[in-house]
Amino acid sequence: MPVSRYVLLVPVKPPAVGKSRLRGVADRRALAEAFALDTVAACLDADLVGRVLVVTDDAEFSAHLSALGASAIPDGVADDLNGTLRLAAAEARRRWPDLTPAALCADLPALRHDDLDEVLGRGTPEPWFVPDAARRSVP
């Protein structure tokens, strides 16, 4: 089995406000919760992932994510994704200095742990990113 190398940083908006593009959909909150739970579960099943650190201001939902095996911290810089990720990376380095922080969106309900392992296995010591389908992204 490969050695765990990563701590995944997963920012999660409180489900009551998450997935705003689904506003008007009756089950929006339940969908937001399910997306995040499925994503975190796939992360926890990946061989190259040693830890998952979720960042959310929803204490009740944080408890659900922790029950899966993820660690959770409150979002000290809400409405600033880059600030949230910097905060999470600093905390991850403090808790797990032997693991490399990597960020992942929480709304990937079809994510499979083996696909995640394949992508993480291609990582390099330098900063890297996976571009979107149009091959646009900024590292």
* Listed residue (11, 1, 40) closest to 121, CA to CA: 1
Please, what is the average pLDDT of the chain?
86
Q: How far apart are CA 82 and CA 106, in angstroms?
A: 15
The pTM assigned to this predicted structure is 0.87
Q: Is 15 helix (H, G, I), strand (E, B) or coil?
A: coil
Task: Report if residue 77 sits inside a domain.
Answer: yes
pLDDT tens for each residue of 60-82: 989 999 999 999 999 988 789 89
pLDDT tens for each residue of 15-58: 666 555 556 656 777 888 889 999 999 999 999 999 999 999 88
Please give the share of the chain, as a percent, with pLDDT higher than 70.
84
**CATH number of the domain where residue 94 is located:** 3.90.550.10
Could you give the number of structural domains in the chain? 1
pLDDT tens for each residue of 78-90: 789 899 999 999 9
